[in-house]
Structure 1
Amino acid sequence: MARRFFGTDGVRGTANTYPMTAEMALRLGAAVGRYFAHGEHQQRVVIGKDTRRSGYMLENALTAGLTSVGANVLLLGPVPTPAVGMLTRSMRADLGVMISASHNPYQDNGIKFFGPDGYKLSDAAEEAIEALLEQAPQLAPSDGIGRASRIEGDRARYVEFAKTTIPRSQSLSGLKIVVDCANGAAYRTAPEVLWELGADVIPVGVSPNGFNINRGCGSTDTRAAAEAVVAHGADLGIALDGDADRVMILDERGQVCDGDQLMALIADLWSRQGRLEKGTLVATVMSNLGLERFLAARGLRLERTAVGDRYVVEAMRAGGYNLGGEQSGHVVMTDYATTGDGLIAALQFLSAMIDSGKPASALVRSFEPVPQLLENVRYAPGSAPLETAAVKAAIARAEARLDGAGRLLIRKSGTEPLVRVMGEAEDPALLHEIVTGIAAEIARAG
């Protein structure tokens, strides 16, 4: 069954515009509450959110839907997405909910669900919940309506957990670290963790107002973090996104280490320590060919998946692997977390940096990437630019010109009305001509 509402990372859209409305959130709450209901047990649901203004509206509507079918709701307030996964398991909840549109601007919002094991729901579970949306909710009797309460201390629990992910013998004392929290969910937790580990912390993007999340800051715009690193003479910069499940690392000169480079560093380190399960890293089709070559040269394997950290995690669980992620900065380490965790990934980089005694600049580039170009083309909702004859012909011509000397990947975003055109080729001029040509054809068709 084709999913109408769920994309690659929950339900997402423009806030207060269908389907990201209070009415839909209420219906979703009732449907997912019914899906997880079992017997006379009164469910426990934890709900976290980022700092978007629309989060209040969606939080209240979800709570109404869940309590109407008898679930008890525990409201966490603004916390990172990985904290919701952790707390769902830690608090033995039946369901976890995160209200966030991740790296998107404030106008957007989203709702993603975690099962009792702390992992995001499968496609099959989301399809079943969508089917329940078409049915009338099974409302609880008056004496069975659930309760809602805000809980304290959830942030402290996550802070303590994050600190355990590097050896107790390691301290960040003497390190000056810029942390850009994107005016998002980690605006308090990330600086606290780094400070408690001994770092001199320079916070950026820690003044959320409901509208400035991801605006000119964070992992999708690292300029503010880079400027702060250079201005303060910092040893390292950490740029998180709005819900803190992805990260970009910046060295002391402001150079960016993306998810591919970070995964290469951790995979190599864990392999030498005997910690990398089955000698395999899981990444998506977007990861650079240079990463694959780097791993192969060390006798390690790259397993590729569809785009989306949930597909990475599914492959990791199916294969028994413990490291995976995306070029965009999701790094999933199932030894520690059930989803991408930008802060914990950054702590792994810091741990490697301390062990090596080298500056960040010596660690941010593990391999030479094959030239790669990505163009995002926005299209009108409801249109199908990839189905037009002109676009299909442009793609066929491009593939013929590459003739095995490169790679082309064209896909619709699962979270926005965008077509992503990505190419790789050793010849940068050819790469630019091919990618921009296809992007232009899609723009004309969309």
Structure 2
Amino acid sequence: MGRLFGTDGVRGIANADLTAEMALGLSVAAAHVLAEAGSFAGHRPVAVVGRDPRASGEFLEAAVVAGLASAGVDVLRVGVLPTPAVAYLTGALGADLGVMLSASHNAMPDNGVKFLARGGHKLDDDLEERIEKLYEEHRTGAPWVRPTGDGVGRVRDYDEGFDQYVAHLIGVLPNRLDGITVVLDEAHGAASRVSPEAFSRAGAEIITIGARPDGLNINDGCGSTHLEPLKAAVLEHGAHFGIAHDGDADRCLAVDGNGEEVDGDQILSILALALRERGQLRHDTVVGTVMSNLGFKLAMEREGITLVQTAVGDRYVLESMKEHGYALGGEQSGHVIVLDHATTGDGTLTGLLLAARVVETGRSLADLASVMQRLPQVLVNVPDVDKSRVHTSAELSAAVAEAEAELGDTGRVLLRPSGTEPLVRVMVEAADIDHARAVAGRLADAVKSALG
């Protein structure tokens, strides 16, 4: 059996790859690993369970709740809320674990199960491996030891979670949002109620699109992976700017008043300067990934801020932040982590902080985002090659060195093997898009020659 856990929980096509039986079994295993069910004298383990609006989330939620309760865990069912809300409530309520049912930005047929440890933190590899091992052992043979009578878990709806999370978001803001108009694209997802409520309570005038989830339309031509509707709405309504989330609202991308995209690197640049101004950017450092635009790094250097880069994935960003005590980190895709106020990327929080900076400074989002100039970035996927040799091939190393010498300080080259497919990703940045394309094309040919 291949590893079930990917970079962000267990995902697959609901009712095909990810079945009710699997969700139930994984939840029982997670209860034993994360809640140590039955081992606390006088303490009933508690889990917070939430989901996005996907139709399949209804039966998968039922399976997860059944698995947890059958293992002796009391369940607080918070309903449709963003992933960061479930993480926050897991910590705030002192729960032993959290479970979120979502496939994030994926299309509707997919779904996923994401487990959170005490405090609302993502699981490290060791915990995931323990859950998966225990699940597989009992799937193939050994029956679970199950509590009976008053030992089984109890289940109740926790409707207070919505207001509790919104109050937390508003309490984080350094100032109110009165005087601005914002378009919110909720991707017909988990933030369809939360985000408009938070922005409205904070004082902003809002226009919402993509905020009518029906279980089938999540991420469908809207949200952070499809910015065209948001750009059109910002221009149509003359809004100050727009905010887009993905299905579980752990991402935030923006569109300025001119209809231009403001990506995760630009958002991080804006928030880094804001936090430093308030003395909250610890070690004057922000964390990104190896895919962060070179323009981001150059902007931070100019501003006297250090950029630490990790492997691709917000979990690696978070690990670096926790290990070294950094306050801010994220990805170009819009995962932004403000560690003093969230244990994971929080799209609604990010959007609120961005709006607060616009109001606080009196500057437009376009003006704030101009702190960094995005260098043209070209990404080419080279399939059907031996990706295991990407870092050991002498021929390829020579081609990369030649490209780097050609680009100098105004460009960058990155070759990265895919984590899930037999291909190598070639990324080239340069001051000129045509130059970037030319270098990327030559490197793609070199990858085929050396690794094909």
Is 1:156 matched up with 2:155?
no
For 1:194, the aligned partner's letter is: F
Q: CA deviation at 1:441?
A: 9.7
Change (3 A) 1:176 1:65: same
Contact 2:386 2:423 in 1 (8 A): no
Q: Which residue of 1 aligns with 2:4?
A: 5
Q: Which of 282-291 and 362-371 deviates more?
A: 362-371
Matches within 5 A, 1:210-229: 210-229=215-234
CA distance in 1, matches of 2:294, 2:131: 37
Residue aligned with 1:52, SS: coil
* Correspondent of 1:178 among 149, 170, 183: 183
For 1:111, the aligned partner's letter is: V
CA distance in 2, matches of 1:172, 1:362: 18
For residues 16-52 of structure 1, the C-alpha deviation after alignment (integer angstroms, 9 at most, x for no partner) is 222x221211110110011121334321011111111
CA distance in 2, matches of 1:422, 1:211: 34
Is 1:22 matched up with 2:27?
no
Q: Which of 72-81 and 364-373 deviates more?
A: 364-373
CA distance in 2, matches of 1:248, 1:268: 18
Q: CA deviation at 1:370?
A: 2.4
CA distance in 1, matches of 2:120, 2:368: 32
CA distance in 2, matches of 1:396, 1:225: 42
CA distance in 2, matches of 1:151, 1:63: 13
Contact 1:236 1:360 in 2 (8 A): yes
For 2:44, the aligned partner's letter is: Q
Q: Which of 24-33 and 393-402 deviates more?
A: 393-402
Residue aligned with 2:118, SS: coil
Q: Which residue of 2 aligns with 1:119?
A: 121
Q: Which residue of 2 aligns with 1:91?
A: 93
Q: CA deviation at 1:171?
A: 2.8
CA distance in 2, matches of 1:253, 1:276: 30
CA distance in 1, matches of 2:378, 2:110: 26
Is 1:146 matched up with 2:158?
no
CA distance in 2, matches of 1:418, 1:142: 50
Q: Which of 269-278 and 239-248 deviates more?
A: 269-278
Change (3 A) 1:285 1:90: same
Change (3 A) 1:435 1:160: same
CA distance in 2, matches of 1:212, 1:385: 38
Q: CA deviation at 1:120?
A: 0.5
Q: CA deviation at 1:438?
A: 6.6
Q: CA deviation at 1:409?
A: 3.2
Q: Which residue of 2 aligns with 1:428?
A: 433
Q: CA deviation at 1:308?
A: 1.1
* Correspondent of 1:130 among 132, 139, 149: 132
Q: Which residue of 1 aligns with 2:404?
A: 403
Q: What TM-score comes out, normalization by structure 2 length? A: 0.89
What percentage of residue pairs aligned between the two structures are identical?
A: 44
Residue aligned with 1:219, SS: helix
Residue aligned with 2:57, SS: helix
Q: Which residue of 2 aligns with 1:75?
A: 77
Q: Which blocks of at least 5 consecutive residues in structure 1 are unaligned? A: none
Change (3 A) 1:52 1:300: same
For residues 291-317 of structure 1, the C-alpha deviation after alignment (integer angstroms, 9 at most, x for no partner) is 111112222211111111111111101
CA distance in 2, matches of 1:151, 1:298: 45
Matches within 5 A, 1:293-372: 293-372=298-377
Residue aligned with 2:275, SS: helix
Is 1:250 matched up with 2:255?
yes
Q: CA deviation at 1:223?
A: 0.7
Q: Which of 171-180 and 317-326 deviates more?
A: 171-180
Q: CA deviation at 1:429?
A: 2.4
For 2:156, the aligned partner's letter is: S
For 1:141, the aligned partner's letter is: P
For residues 270-309 of structure 1, the C-alpha deviation after alignment (integer angstroms, 9 at most, x for no partner) is 2232210011111111101111111122222111111111
* Correspondent of 1:273 among 259, 272, 278: 278
Q: Which blocks of at least 5 consecutive residues in structure 2 are unaligned? A: none
For 1:104, the aligned partner's letter is: N
For 1:207, the aligned partner's letter is: R
Residue aligned with 1:4, SS: coil
Contact 1:385 1:442 in 2 (8 A): no
For residues 54-111 of structure 1, the C-alpha deviation after alignment (integer angstroms, 9 at most, x for no partner) is 1112111111221121111111111011101100011110001111111111121111
Q: Which of 396-405 and 352-361 deviates more?
A: 396-405
For 1:134, the aligned partner's letter is: E
CA distance in 1, matches of 2:52, 2:398: 44
CA distance in 1, matches of 2:115, 2:424: 25
Contact 1:331 1:342 in 2 (8 A): yes
Q: CA deviation at 1:341?
A: 0.7
CA distance in 2, matches of 1:63, 1:431: 50
* Correspondent of 1:106 among 89, 108, 113: 108
CA distance in 2, matches of 1:10, 1:440: 35
For residues 116-139 of structure 1, the C-alpha deviation after alignment (integer angstroms, 9 at most, x for no partner) is 111111111111111111222533
CA distance in 2, matches of 1:73, 1:186: 22
CA distance in 2, matches of 1:395, 1:163: 51
Residue aligned with 2:103, SS: coil
For residues 220-259 of structure 1, the C-alpha deviation after alignment (integer angstroms, 9 at most, x for no partner) is 1111111111111111101111111111111111111101
CA distance in 2, matches of 1:366, 1:26: 48
Change (3 A) 1:417 1:129: farther
CA distance in 2, matches of 1:58, 1:198: 37
Q: What TM-score comes out, normalization by structure 1 length? A: 0.90
Contact 1:324 1:332 in 2 (8 A): yes
Matches within 5 A, 1:193-232: 193-232=198-237
* Correspondent of 2:418 among 409, 412, 416: 412
Q: CA deviation at 1:385?
A: 5.9
